[in-house]
């Protein structure tokens, strides 16, 4: 497999930036009018209209990064060592977090259902409710699939697929047009799995993200493909701008006269998939071109971003429960949640988890030398 032994700084940059973007998304959820864990009495339509756009961009790229990372690791270590590594990094933290980190979310969402926070822990300790950690659950399944997929790429059909993908990548709009595969997959699966929940058995969601994971594997398997994404970044930017405009025209416009509701939903899923694909190419292309350095603070942030992700939503839910009760406007409340949640979550990661051996293990960090 053609994987250059180097550190891809752009992956570290994107991973940190996008997890922080996920954090900010959850910070503003109490104020956008959706039915989230904690809701403010007043909501912002503008906030909701903005958030629905960025929802299409973050997780697809994070799954692509995971796929690319799996190829890098599988070409350095054995499959057995890979499984052991992912069990320590993903499975153990997921199990512990579902037992000890997520129960407060259920308590503060509906405190009247429990006698106390301790009672919530007693009732939910072994329920293993993943909440926002469905992302890690998906990663575990995808990492298991990465082993046979990596072997398949070394076969003759696998090499033919890579050759075809590489030829497409050399054409200015080649990779952008290949997004039709993603659009087709999503629209087809939405016919049978119309929901948008984070359950692994919901194939319209899990397979959608699996396509990005596999795309990351394909991109990383051929340096020519990886380099083409950066080289054609401006062309892909044009496609991204067009897909963004079409997305908002459809989102904000009245198209009730176009076919049945089912048809209009299919158009929506096609447009969101196209936007996700175009956004992925642009983010990866510009990051690959400009974000080539890896400063010490980035390496530290890249290590701690995983426990940051595990902790962040519980911290946000607890703080938002009290802050939404303030006699204040949305701006003050949301900024208060943002600043306090980031400070507390980052502080816990840096000052508590980072230096503590057993907590490093519990949150999937490598042991310090």
pLDDT at position 63 is: 99
Triad 37, 121, 126: Cα angle to 5°: 100
Q: Minimal CA–CA distance to 174: which of 226, 214, 232?
A: 232
The CB-side HSE value for 141 (13 A sphere, CA atoms) comes to 12
102 vs 314: CA distance, rounded Å: 6
Instruction: Measure the N-to-C terminal CA separation of the chain; round to a whole number of Å.
Output: 31
Q: Minimal CA–CA distance to 18: which of 74, 72, 61, 66?
A: 61
176 vs 255: CA distance, rounded Å: 26
225 vs 245: CA distance, rounded Å: 27
Long-range CB contacts for residues 155-158, cutoff 8 Å, separation at least 24: none
Q: What is this structure's pTM?
A: 0.96
pLDDT at position 368 is: 82
pLDDT at position 367 is: 87
Complete DSSP assignment for 206-217: HHHHHHHHHHHH
* Helix, strand, or coil (residue 97): helix
259 vs 87: CA distance, rounded Å: 48
77 Ramachandran zone, left/alpha/beta (phi>0; psi -120 to 50): beta
358 vs 154: CA distance, rounded Å: 39
pLDDT at position 258 is: 86
Indicate the angle between helix axes 223-231 and 233-252, nearest 10 degrees.
70
Q: Which letter does DSSP use for residue 87 in this model?
A: I
The pair of three-digit structure tokens given for residue 65, joined into one six-digit string: 């990064």
Q: Minimal CA–CA distance to 150: which of 98, 83, 204, 235?
A: 83
65 vs 260: CA distance, rounded Å: 37
pLDDT at position 178 is: 94
Report the chain (369 residues): mean pLDDT per 10 consecutive residues.
68 98 98 95 96 98 98 96 96 97 97 96 94 97 98 96 94 94 97 93 97 97 94 97 98 91 96 98 97 94 98 99 98 98 98 97 90
């Amino acid at each position: 497999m053609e994987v250059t032994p180097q550190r891809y700084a752009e992956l570290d940059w994107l991973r940190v930036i996008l997890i922080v973007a996920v954090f900010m998304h959850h910070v503003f959820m109490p104020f956008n009018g959706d039915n989230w864990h904690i809701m403010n009495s007043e909501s912002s339509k503008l906030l909701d209209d903005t958030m629905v756009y960025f929802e299409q961009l973050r997780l697809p790229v994070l799954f692509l990064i995971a796929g690319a990372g799996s190829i890098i690791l599988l070409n350095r270590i054995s499959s057995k060592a890979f499984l052991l590594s992912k069990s320590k990094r993903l499975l153990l933290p997921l199990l512990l977090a579902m037992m000890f980190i997520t129960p407060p979310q259920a308590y503060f969402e509906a405190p009247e259902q429990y006698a106390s926070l301790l009672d919530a822990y007693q009732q939910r300790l072994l329920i293993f409710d993943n909440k926002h950690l469905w992302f890690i659950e998906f990663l575990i399944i995808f990492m298991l699939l990465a082993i046979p997929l990596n072997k398949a790429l070394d076969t003759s059909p696998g090499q033919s697929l890579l050759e075809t993908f590489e030829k497409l990548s050399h054409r200015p709009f080649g990779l952008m047009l290949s997004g039709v595969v993603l659009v087709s997959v999503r629209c087809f699966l939405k016919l049978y799995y119309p929901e948008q929940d984070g359950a692994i058995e919901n194939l319209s969601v899990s397979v959608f993200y699996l396509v990005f994971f596999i795309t990351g594997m394909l991109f990383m398997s051929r340096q020519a493909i990886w380099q083409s994404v950066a080289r054609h970044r401006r062309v892909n930017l044009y496609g991204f701008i067009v897909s963004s405009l079409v997305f908002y025209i459809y989102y904000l416009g009245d198209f009730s006269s176009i076919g049945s509701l089912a048809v209009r939903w299919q158009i929506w899923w096609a447009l969101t998939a196209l936007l996700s694909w175009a956004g992925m190419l642009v983010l990866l292309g510009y990051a690959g071109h400009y974000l080539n350095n890896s400063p010490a603070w980035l390496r530290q942030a890249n290590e701690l971003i995983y426990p940051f992700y595990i902790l962040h939503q519980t911290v946000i839910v607890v703080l938002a429960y009290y802050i939404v009760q303030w006699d204040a406007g949305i701006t003050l409340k949301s900024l208060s949640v943002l600043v306090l949640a980031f400070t507390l979550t980052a502080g816990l990661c840096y000052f508590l988890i980072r230096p503590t051996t057993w907590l490093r293990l519990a949150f999937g960090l490598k042991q310090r030398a």
